[in-house]
Structure 1
Amino acid sequence: MNTSILIADDHPLMLRGLTDFLTSQGYNIVGSAEDGNAAYNLIVKLKPEIAILDIRMPLKSGLEIAEACQKNHLPTKIILITFDKEEELYDQAKAFNVYGYILKEFAIEEIETCIKHVVNGTPYFSEEIAEYLKASQTALRPEILDLLTKSEIKIVKLISENYTSQEIANELSISVRTVDKHRSNIVHKLKLDNKPTSLFVWANKNKDFL
Structure 2
Amino acid sequence: MTRVVVVDDQTLVRQGIRGLLDVAGIDVVGEADDGAAALDTITEVEPDVVLLDLRMPGHDGIWALEQLRDRGMDVPVLVLTTFDDDTLVLEALRAGARGYLLKDVTLDQLTRAVETLAGGGTMIAPSITDRLVRAVQSGASPVGADAPPVQELTEREVEVLRLVAEGYNNREISEVLYLAEGTVKNHVSTILVKLCARDRTNAVLRALHDGILR
The TM-score with structure 2 as length reference comes to: 0.62
The count of residues paired between Structure 1 and Structure 2 equals 153
Residue number in structure 2 paired with 1:170: none
How far the C-alpha of 1:159 sits from its partner, in A, is: 9.9
How far the C-alpha of 1:117 sits from its partner, in A, is: 1.9
Report SS of the residue matched to 1:85: coil
- Deviation string for 1:13-52 (max 9, x for gaps)? 2111110111122112111122222112111222212110
Residue number in structure 1 paired with 2:195: none
On the 8 A contact 1:47/1:74 being kept in 2, the answer is no
How far the C-alpha of 1:128 sits from its partner, in A, is: 2.2
Cα root mean square deviation, aligned: 2.9
Cα distance in 1 between the residues matched to 2:135 and 2:209: 12
On the 8 A contact 2:79/2:99 being kept in 1, the answer is yes
On the 8 A contact 1:18/1:108 being kept in 2, the answer is no
Report SS of the residue matched to 1:80: strand
Cα distance in 2 between the residues matched to 1:128 and 1:114: 15
- CA distance 1:156–1:131, shift in 2 (3 Å): closer
Equivalences for residues 45-194 of structure 1 within 5 A? 45-106=44-105, 108-137=107-136, 140=139, 156-157=145-146
Cα distance in 1 between the residues matched to 2:130 and 2:44: 37
Q: Give the residue type in structure 2 aligned to 1:97.
A: G
Higher helix share: 1
Report SS of the residue matched to 2:44: helix
How far the C-alpha of 1:124 sits from its partner, in A, is: 0.8
Report SS of the residue matched to 1:43: helix
On the 8 A contact 2:86/2:132 being kept in 1, the answer is no
On the 8 A contact 1:5/1:29 being kept in 2, the answer is yes
Residue number in structure 2 paired with 1:173: none
Quick one: percent identity of the two aligned structures? 22
How far the C-alpha of 1:130 sits from its partner, in A, is: 2.2
Unaligned runs of 5+ in 2: 150-204
How far the C-alpha of 1:58 sits from its partner, in A, is: 1.9
